[in-house]
């Protein structure tokens, strides 16, 4: 039985792949698919983050220690002395943000040697998915993180404390918030979105739905596009109303906007492109 990728990250001209049942990290040529190099970070490394010519790998569920290898050559730069669990790290100008799932702090480690540079205490335990991001860059050298059942905090690299952005009125899913059009899109645990102003956390509208929406919100002409796990694609106008909906497939796992006028949908076993002039144009 073949192995399936646990993680795939593209940083042109390279594609980094961590197979699910292998101890290898593969670097492939994104154009030809040919192997450029491979490394051995350990079994079930899971997390892969690329930044400034460095590949940070490992830390998923604490199976393997974090290690960093050169993006061009695969040569090991450094390796942590012991295994430790972290949510998917986030790359910053100064290094990488890490956090233990359900932990009470977030820390920054150096890109060059993995040493701890700073730490922030959290008001509630860090919430994060088993796979996928837990942190969301907010465009101002800060990062948003989900804590507890309803809290969103901001971690600014220039500050020493995490700042509360919003406390939702309903339980939220344990994943990174979505940021689009100056709005924070808070996915609710039971389905739907609470949408708030990114600057002050004031609620703008709610999108009620009986299914969970997948991560990522895309800007489209005159509004936004969102998708639920059951295969429905929605167009949301600037007033927060659903202006159009259409079933694309039986299941959607992710949504991405692609310039100039396309949406990419990750479906079960396939990748679909949809014209963002209307969900029906695909």
CA distance 150 to 189: 10
Tell me the percentage of the chain whose pLDDT exceeds 90.
Answer: 59
Q: Average pLDDT, stretch 90-105?
A: 94
Give the domains, in start order, of the chain with CATH numbers. 1-85 (2.40.10.480), 214-282 (2.40.10.480)
Q: Average pLDDT, stretch 13-32?
A: 84
- pLDDT at residue 260, as a whole number: 60
Q: Average pLDDT, stretch 73-101?
A: 93
**Three-state SS for 115?**
coil
Q: Average pLDDT, stretch 40-52?
A: 89
- pLDDT at residue 1, as a whole number: 35
Residue 166: is its pLDDT beyond 50? Answer: yes
Residues 183-219 pLDDT 10s = 999 999 999 999 999 988 899 999 999 988 988 899 8
Q: pLDDT category, 268, cuts 50, 70, 90?
A: confident
Residue 140: is its pLDDT beyond 80? Answer: no
Q: Which two tokens stand for residue 56?
A: 């940070």
Other beta carbons within 10 angstroms of residue 21's beta carbon come to: 11
pTM for this prediction: 0.85
CA distance 21 to 4: 7
Element (DSSP H or E) covering residue 90? strand 90-91
- pLDDT at residue 258, as a whole number: 66
- pLDDT at residue 6, as a whole number: 60
CA distance 73 to 39: 10
- Decide: residue 153, CB within 10 A, 0-12 exposed, 13-18 middle, 19+ buried: buried
Residue 99: is its pLDDT beyond 80? Answer: yes
Q: Which two tokens stand for residue 138?
A: 């907010």
Residues 231-249 pLDDT 10s = 999 999 999 999 999 998 8
Q: What is the DSSP letter of 133?
A: B
Give me the sheet containing 14-19, strands edge to edge.
5-11, 14-19, 25-29, 35-39
| Whether 80 contacts 68, CB under 8 Å | no
Q: Which distant-in-sequence residues (6+ apart) come within 8 Å of 260 by Cβ?
A: none
Would you say the C-alpha torsion 144, 7, 82, 84 has a positive or negative sign?
A: positive
- pLDDT at residue 252, as a whole number: 86
Residue 34: is its pLDDT beyond 80? Answer: yes
| Whether 143 contacts 97, CB under 8 Å | yes
Length of the chain equals: 282
**Three-state SS for 136?**
strand
Q: Which two tokens stand for residue 219?
A: 């800007």
CA distance 106 to 126: 8
Residue 75: is its pLDDT beyond 80? Answer: yes
What mean pLDDT value characterizes the chain? 88
CA distance 37 to 203: 48
């Amino acid at each position: 039985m073949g192995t399936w990728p646990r993680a795939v990250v593209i940083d042109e001209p390279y594609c980094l792949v961590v197979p699910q049942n292998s101890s290898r990290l593969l670097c492939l040529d994104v154009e030809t698919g040919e192997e450029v190099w491979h490394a051995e970070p350990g079994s079930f490394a899971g997390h892969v983050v690329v930044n400034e010519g460095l590949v940070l790998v490992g830390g998923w569920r604490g199976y393997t220690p974090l290690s960093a290898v050169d993006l061009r050559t695969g040569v090991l730069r450094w390796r942590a002395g012991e295994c430790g669990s972290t949510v998917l790290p986030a790359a910053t100008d100064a290094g990488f943000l890490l956090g233990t799932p359900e932990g009470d702090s977030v820390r920054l480690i150096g890109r060059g040697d993995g040493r701890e540079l700073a730490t922030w205490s959290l008001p509630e335990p860090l919430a994060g998915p088993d796979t996928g991001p837990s942190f969301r860059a907010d465009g101002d050298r800060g990062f948003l993180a989900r804590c507890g059942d309803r809290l969103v905090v901001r971690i600014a690299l220039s500050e020493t404390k995490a700042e509360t952005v919003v406390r939702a009125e309903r339980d939220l899913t344990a994943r990174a918030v979505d940021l689009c059009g100056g709005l924070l899109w808070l996915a609710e645990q039971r389905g739907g979105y609470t949408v708030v102003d990114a600057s002050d956390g004031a609620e703008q509208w709610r999108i009620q739905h009986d299914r969970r929406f997948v991560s990522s919100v895309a800007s489209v002409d005159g509004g936004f596009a969102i998708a639920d796990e059951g295969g429905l694609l929605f167009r949301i106008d600037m007033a927060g109303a659903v202006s159009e909906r259409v079933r694309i497939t039986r299941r959607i796992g992710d949504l991405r906007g692609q310039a100039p006028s396309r949406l990419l949908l990750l479906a079960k076993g396939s990748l679909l492109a949809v014209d963002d002039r209307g969900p029906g144009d695909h």
